[in-house]
Amino acid sequence: MARITASVYTSHVPAIGAAIDLGKTQEPYWQPLFKGYEFSKQWMKDNKPDVIFLVCNDHATAFSLDMIPTFAIGTAAEFIPADEGFGPRPVPKVIGHPDLASHIAHSVIQQDFDLTIVNKMEVDHGLTVPLSLMCGEPDAWPCPVIPFAVNVVQYPVPSGQRCFNLGQAIRKAVESYDEDLNVHIWGTGGMSHQLQGARAGLINREWDNAWLDKMIADPAACAATPHIDYVREAGSEGVELVMWLIARGAMQDVADSARSVSVRHRFYHVPASNTAVGHLILENS
């Protein structure tokens, strides 16, 4: 049987991808940020998963106002890095896992979550930047990746509670897959940032760090946070954090309060472009 052994949470700022691709990671502005991921890259090598289920959002790359799926699962055999205006990032193509993805789609839809099935999709910084942060610059990504896109760009966006519940359904789906696979689930995006309007540039360290505390110890409280709190406290793009709740909902302590998770790594850094970068690694112990 497949099982989820760990979850990873990280911001996805596009400028981080540019810093890697242009060889700027050791510049004074970027060095402290990348230092925070040194542990993570070693952890990925020491704990290599068979599959990553990567919850991310599309930024009007694969989807547009023509079509806005709330939850979309990538079932393709491969996903090509998109051209977001400066040419595609020079990173490996993403190899999918069509069989597990189809199984999860089947199971989760039967558990009453309506997913959009995506058989062809290009992936943007929402997916490739987290992979770069966690895996460095390999010739190929370490394992197959199932992209799971959440609409956090155009309202109405799903509630944190729905995302948390969906994570629980994804855990059940993974655990009902026959093959013995070690699966990691990643929640990406956030933390506080606002890219437009009068409050552009907003960062809220206090709120972000309280959120990290709660994500570890009381994720149900994070799930109960209404959208207006994200927007007020973490800026309009801070609502990307609902994606972290899908990964958190898939951890074992949520299903069974007698079980626990352990924190392997925690990191927070401001600034990276207009965004506060937050990062956690949690393991099912």
**Which positions lie near ligand DHB, rule CB under 6 A?**
12-15, 59, 193, 195, 237, 273-275
Report CA Rg, the chain: 17
Burial (CB < 10 A; 0-12, 13-18, 19+), residue 142, is middle
- Closer to ligand DHB by CB, 15 or 280: give it: 15
**What number of other Cβ atoms are within 10 A of residue 252's Cβ?**
18
User: Least distance to ligand DHB from the beta carbon of 9, Å?
Assistant: 14
Q: Given 125, 184, 269, 279, which residue is catalytic?
A: 125
- Closer to ligand DHB by CB, 87 or 257: give it: 87
Instruction: List alpha helices for 97-218, DSSP H.
Output: 98-110, 125-135, 160-175, 205-217
Let me know: does 54 contact 130? Beta carbons within 8 Å: yes
- Closer to ligand DHB by CB, 155 or 258: give it: 155
Helix axes 14-21, 125-135, angle to 10 degrees: 50
- Closer to ligand DHB by CB, 239 or 250: give it: 239
User: Least distance to ligand DHB from the beta carbon of 104, Å?
Assistant: 25
User: Least distance to ligand DHB from the beta carbon of 138, Å?
Assistant: 23
User: Least distance to ligand DHB from the beta carbon of 273, Å?
Assistant: 3
Let me know: does 133 contact 281? Beta carbons within 8 Å: no
Q: Which residues touch 40 (CB under 8 Å, ≥6 apart)? A: 8, 133, 134, 265, 267, 279, 281
Q: Given 59, 97, 184, 193, which residue is catalytic?
A: 193
- Closer to ligand DHB by CB, 195 or 255: give it: 195
Q: Name the token pair of 238.
A: 């801070």
CB-side exposure of 49: number of CA atoms within 13 Å? 27
**C-alpha span between 24 and 274 (Å, rounded):** 18
User: Least distance to ligand DHB from the beta carbon of 60, Å?
Assistant: 10
* Catalytic residue status for 125: yes
* Catalytic residue status for 12: no
Residue with the closest Cβ to ligand DHB? 273
Which residues are part of the catalytic machinery? 125, 193
